[in-house]
Amino acid sequence: MKQLITVNKPINLEQLDKEFNGKGLVANINDQLEVASVGLADDNDGLMDDLQKCIDNHNAIFPKPTLEEKLMSMGLDIDDLKKLGL
């Protein structure tokens, strides 16, 4: 079983991967759909101690969703709005 580091702050996994070494990370997600723990992906040759340091220094940035992303989350797209005359 992979070793995972429990986190207690917001984590943007894609951002953290880039900050670490870009070779892939894995995560467990909690009931609130937040990252609860982080580990190294199978092909990532990084060190857990280095990952811990990177997590300690990580300040997650979550981009605001675009209009298209918001529509997609509701099963709609721009064409649907046009059909409705919006």
19-55: per-residue pLDDT in tens?
A: 999 999 999 999 999 999 999 999 999 999 999 999 9
What mean pLDDT is predicted for residues 68-77?
86
Contact between residue 24 and residue 40 where contact means Cβ atoms under 8 Å apart: yes
The answer, as to whether pTM is greater than 0.85, is no
Measure Cα distances from 14 to 1, 38, 74, 82 in Å.
22, 12, 24, 33
Contact between residue 27 and residue 38 where contact means Cβ atoms under 8 Å apart: yes
**Could you give the percent of the chain with pLDDT greater than 70?**
98
Segments forming the whole domain that contains residue 15: 5-83
Task: Say what the pLDDT of residue 1 is.
Answer: 58
Measure Cα distances from 58 to 3, 28, 54, 69 in Å.
19, 17, 6, 25
pLDDT(73) > 90 = no
The domain total for the chain is 1
